[in-house]
Structure 1
């Protein structure tokens, strides 16, 4: 297979480095010229949970040639229509684009590329781009996991091939209830990534601060309620039934779910949200594709999402330079 990772930032660089290390030829592609040049000169420098320098093949988009059997997509969703249109000529007729983005990106990509050329994948680990060619791995290696699924049936054999490739790096789950897996990832991103971005901190900082943890807990509950109303069955995450653990209907279950949160994210406590990384670089973040999706679905179903809505509002104010990502923003929440 001829394989590319398009949008080789923090996660894409780690993925590409691990696949290269395990003998899989893959092109890492990014518009970040300094990052690509550093990868070409020195290889991918991994720090944090692992220290290594791994040679990789890195390209700018304008240097792409020919067509690919498989493209892993890790760009921001804000540009999905433009990116999918750009990639269309580079994807073989029987090729597959595997989106590893957050939120629910498949419908837009399928509209442009065709329903039989798009699959989805959720990632169960995190990383931070700390410099050109340098990526901090913020999750333990034993947490590496991928959940794969097809938005529509028909390409199961290709999905199995993708599974074999990704299994060289971590644990693979092929989701027959892929929309449930998508919503489980959305729950984690909306509650922890959204809260941590608004407060300028890591997942671990959210869990350690009681008020921040309460915000994340409330968003989890809002997401669970919307999933139920949408007839979506949330899939387990790394073997944990998050709906069972964090749904609550009385004060005792609410107390238990609150105290479970630090244990649930302990392996990812150093994770810094990509939304926060974008804000720190002066880039627009994906809040509307993550927390915004939850608020939008809540409005459609008539289910209030007051805490999630506050996170969206605060992050938009941060983007507008009215606020800074800081724990000071806890004062602006009404719980």
Structure 2
């Protein structure tokens, strides 16, 4: 196995796969992280304590050395969405004839990988509520305890929804990291998570506030509902079967998108109740990217909603507004601030 992108998610998954005895190679772009793993191993910590593993690790410029190894059976992609295409191109020469590539990413990148690798060799894995952070080179910390009963962190699936043996084998391997299962609704799961990310990341990136803080603000709460409902309405129009969005019935978001005010009022009350379970300090990953001055995945999250809205004939004013603001923040014209959405 190979993990392309050994940051918080990729490093955590690859580290625990190696800890379980799988033959794993981590490949990353950050020289200090690579050197720390080579020198002292990879530390994986969390509520249960810390584990240190010593997987094989390569810098991106050392990938050509893979020609000396057995071809890769399973390559996980855990890089930012804007790096997907060139990473897939990089993987292709080293992939076994019957090997496959699994997107372990936030966005709907399976089609991008499939264009490079082939649709028949592409799978996806939705990662839900893993809450990990690469807080310094060679050290990854998880906020949540592993093995939460009734919650599958990993949901592996084929693009076409068939239940395949290889998806089951990959899910079995991921069980060594945390609870995992096979889904026959990969694209529906992706859209459900996209709706949640459009809501939370949209608020985090534009205002610098967490989801909990956003829900507490009446204006932002309504805007968050708009963001998620636009995505849910598009997914429904395109024929995708949605799963729960932010632990709530997706039908509420779809009905809200269709103008049902009773559904919107119910959704608002359920979000307020949900906020009580959220930590105030947990900023979305895109909000963290803005904080650190890094390029965001805006075009692959809220921007994807806007693009698909055009395809489905559904207006997306809330998501389009977020895209515009985040692009301005990236260019240095604005800073993340409540005023970007309230009183403007």
Regarding TM over 0.5, the answer is yes
Q: Aligned equivalents of 1:203 and 1:24: distance in 2?
A: 36
Contact 1:127 1:271 in 2 (8 A): no
Q: 1:82 to 1:26 in 2, by over 3 A?
A: same
Could you tell me which residue of structure 1 aligns to residue 60 of structure 2? 61
1:242 pairs with one of 225, 235, 249: 249
Partners in 2 of 1:168 and 1:197 — Cα distance? 33
Relative to structure 2, which stretch is displaced further, 17-26 or 288-297? Answer: 17-26
Between 1:303-312 and 1:60-69, the stretch displaced more is 60-69
- Aligned-residue Cα RMSD (Å) equals 2.4
Residues 75-84 or 46-55, more deviating: 46-55
Q: Deviations over 1:123-167 (max 9, x none)?
A: 102323222223342444325611211114778121111010112
Q: Per the alignment, do residues 304 and 122 of structure 1 end up closer, same or farther by CA in structure 2, a change over 3 Å counting?
A: same
Deviation at 1:196, TM superposition (A): 1.3
Match in the other structure for 1:163: 171
**Structure 2 matches for 1:160-309, cutoff 5 A?**
160-236=168-244, 240=247, 242-246=249-253, 247-248=255-256, 249-264=259-274, 266=277, 270-309=281-320
Contact 2:152–2:181 (CA under 8 A) maintained in structure 1: no
Once the two structures are superposed, residues 66-111 of structure 1 have per-residue CA deviations (whole angstroms, 9 ceiling, x without a partner) of: 3211111011121222111111112111111100122221112111
The structure-2 alpha-carbon separation of the partners of 1:153 and 1:312, relative to structure 1 and needing over 3 Å to count, comes to closer
How many residue pairs were aligned? 330
* Deviation of 1:263 (Å): 4.4
> Is contact 2:3–2:26 with CA below 8 Å preserved after alignment?
yes
- What residue number does 1:28 align with? 26
Q: Which residue of 2 aligns with 1:121?
A: 125
C-alpha contact 1:30 1:36 (8 A) present in aligned 2: yes
Q: What is the CA-CA distance between 1:197 and the residue it aligns to?
A: 1.6
C-alpha distance 131-145 of structure 1, shift in aligned 2 (>3 A): same
1:64-143 matches, within 5 Å, as 64=63, 65=66, 66=69, 67-125=71-129, 126-141=131-146, 142=148
**Equivalence for 1:151:** 159
Checking the alignment, whether the CA contact within 8 Å between 1:128 and 1:274 is kept in structure 2 is no
Contact 1:139 1:270 in 2 (8 A): no
Kept after mapping to 1: 8 A contact 2:25/2:58 = yes
Corresponding residue for residue 17 of structure 2: 19
Aligned equivalents of 2:155 and 2:297: distance in 1? Answer: 21
Cα distance change on mapping 1:291 and 1:76 into 2, 3 Å: same
- 1: CA distance between counterparts of 2:202 and 2:143? 18
Gaps of 5+ in 1: none
Name the SS for the 2:336 alignment partner.
Answer: coil
> Residue 100 and residue 236 in structure 1: after superposition, are their counterparts in 2 closer, same or farther (change >3 A)?
same
1: CA distance, partners of 2:82 / 2:267: 33
What TM-score do the two structures reach when normalised by structure 2?
Answer: 0.87
Judge conservation of contact 1:203–1:272 (CA < 8 Å) in 2: yes
Measure the CA separation in 1 of the matches of 2:340 and 2:47. 30
Q: Please, what TM-score do these two structures have when normalized by structure 1?
A: 0.89
Task: Verify the 8 A CA contact 1:219 1:307 in the aligned structure 2.
Answer: yes
- Tell me whether 169-178 or 111-120 shows the greater mean CA deviation: 169-178
Q: Which has the higher contact order (CA 8 A, sep 6+)?
A: 1
